Amino acid sequence: MESTAAKKQYTWKSLVALLAITLGLAGISGFLTRDSRDVYATLSLPSFAPPGWAFPVAWGILYPAMAVAAWLSLRQLPENALPIALLYGAQLLANVIWPLLFFLQHAWGLSFVWLLLVFALALVTCLRFFQSSKWGGGLMLPYLAWLAFAAVLNFSIARLNPQ
């Protein structure tokens, strides 16, 4: 059942705020790793690796979907949505740190382990979102699929590019 108080708290303004926070953090990470396509082009890649242009396209869809998922889920919760908001924030922060490890530090192995952490946090977030909103949880599924693919790709890159 929908909580009227939560719906009043999570208005369209809160959706804009969630989008701004999510896209803002992604933008900062993107700015710091603006040479990522150059780094990616120098790596030995597995045969299934997508072209470099595919990543900004995928993230351009996934980040807004994550913010909408959070908004849909938070607005369905009773009064105390803070634990779920913090969980969303934790997985988002872990997500935006990954490119720094991969592209700036060239820490292929560490970034793979970090990506497993991101996946675990995103999975818990997705499951929790499903408890309050089927749409919210559903919007997280493409993100989880992308993270799983990214983990396989990261693992393969780590094996093909020993440090």
Cα separation, 154 vs 45, in Å, equals 10
pLDDT on residue 21: 96
Residues 22 and 63 sit within 8 Å (Cβ to Cβ)? yes
Pick the CATH number of 4-160 from 1.20.1110.10, 1.10.3720.10, 1.20.1260.100, 3.60.130.10: 1.20.1260.100
Band (10; pLDDT cuts 50, 70, 90): low
Checking if the pLDDT of 111 tops 60, the result is yes
Cα separation, 49 vs 149, in Å, equals 10
Mean pLDDT of 142-157: 98
**pLDDT tens-digit series, residues 62-110:** 999 999 999 999 998 766 788 999 999 999 999 999 999 999 999 999 9
CB atoms within 10 A of CB 118: 23
Mean pLDDT of 14-24: 95
Mean pLDDT of 2-21: 77
**pLDDT tens-digit series, residues 37-58:** 999 999 999 999 999 999 999 9
pLDDT on residue 101: 97
pLDDT on residue 1: 46
Instruction: Please give the backbone phi and psi of residue 122, each rounded to the nearest 5 degrees, phi first.
Output: -65, -35
Which single residue is written with the structure tokens 């919007």? 139
What is the share, in percent, of the chain residues with pLDDT greater than 70?
A: 93
Residues 66 and 22 sit within 8 Å (Cβ to Cβ)? yes
Cα separation, 75 vs 12, in Å, equals 10
pTM tops 0.95: no
Band (6; pLDDT cuts 50, 70, 90): low
Residues 83 and 31 sit within 8 Å (Cβ to Cβ)? no
Query: Encoding tokens for residue 127?
Result: 């499951």
